A and B are shown apart, each in its own frame.
Chain A
Amino acid sequence: MSAVIKTLTPFVEQDVLLEALSSLGVECHVKNNLIMTDRVDYQGTQHFQINDGVYQLVHDSDELQGRLISDSLSNKYTAVKQFLGELEIAYKSTYQLKLIRAEEAERLKMERARQARVAEARGKAIAQAKEQGYSVKESHVNGKIKLVLTRTSH
């Protein structure tokens, strides 16, 4: 028979879950909306399937013949309860990193937009000034761009 164990933190984001699994050294891949792991038991490959928007691990309830596909001395099968406990910690950590990365990306996007606005305003003003016969002297004052436009009228 198979069983489902629920953790406290719902695994709702596939990319976060995949990164968390990877950080634990779990080899996995996505197949038909299932996240297949390198953990196997009597029922076959242990995998995450999505139910009501939450990924849940499907495995044999007794973990009969539980093992890793590539069991080795340094990489041994761990019981599902322990595995999910470690995964929960990794998921939380990965999710926090994702939030930080998203905030940083947003900050960079805003900064690039700001720089583009300044460059556009400067470029347009200089181009128009030269077109209208002004001489242009540029300097920087307290983080601002100062353009002094001068021309002689008759």
Chain B
Amino acid sequence: MAEEKIVLLIDEEGVISAKTIGFKGEACLDALDKLLGPQTITSIKKTDEYLQQVSAKSSIKINMKRK
């Protein structure tokens, strides 16, 4: 059993930044899409963890802007 973790930071303006830990490959993007819905993503930063092992557990950071 693997632990999947998402850390959300909601700033003073309601803008959400998200960081995923422990997802496999693109699953992190899918998880965020399901979680946050059709919000405007302003940036996606793939972390070293993601780039090194896309097939393994991955980690990304995204910034989402309110609609």
Contacts and interface: CB of A to CB of B under 8 A. Distances in A.
Give the contact-size bracket for chain A.
20 to 34
Interface in B1-43: 1-16, 34-37
A150 B4 contact: yes
B34 A120 contact: no
Contact of B12 (A118, A120, A122, A152): A118
B45 interface: no
A132 interface: yes
A153 interface: yes
B46 interface: no
Interface string A114-151: 10011011101100110010100000010111111111
A31 interface: no
A120 to B, nearest CB: 7
A152 B37 CA distance: 21
A151 B7 CA distance: 12
Nearest to B19: A148
Interface of A: 114, 117-118, 120-122, 124-125, 128-129, 132, 134, 141, 143-154
Given A117-B14, A149-B8, A153-B4, 19 more contacts: A114-B12, A118-B10, A118-B12, A121-B14, A121-B15, A121-B16, A125-B36, A128-B37, A143-B11, A143-B12, A144-B11, A145-B10, A146-B10, A148-B5, A148-B6, A148-B7, A149-B6, A150-B4, A152-B4
